[in-house]
Amino acid sequence: MTRNEIFESLKDIVWQIRPSIDLTKIKEDSQLVRDLGLDSLTILLLSLAVENKYGFKFEGSPRFETVNEVIDYIEKACQ
């Protein structure tokens, strides 16, 4: 899976959790909290949805600040 495919699927996951988010506003450098307005509950839901989609469990409690960081983690976990 390419980085762009991961990014596009991550945008879909975010939209499923927060349908009010304009997908065109989501960029790889978007801040999850500041730019996308996610809170601790929606970040937890995002984490669970990513685990389900990609078939892995996050190690510990990773703290993601940007979309890029989530994509990086998925890339490494799926290698």
Phi and psi of 13, rounded to 5°? -65, -45
Whole-number Å distance between alpha carbons of 74 and 22: 23
pTM of structure:
0.90
- CATH numbers and ranges of domains, the chain: 3-77 (1.10.1200.10)
* Distance in angstroms (rounded) separating the CA atoms of residues 10 and 17: 11
Q: Cα separations (Å) of 73 from 20, 21, 22?
A: 25, 23, 24
pLDDT in tens, the chain (79 residues): 899 999 999 999 999 999 999 999 999 999 999 999 999 999 999 999 999 999 999 887 778 999 999 999 999 998 8
Q: How many Å separate Cα 24 from the centre of its chain? A: 15
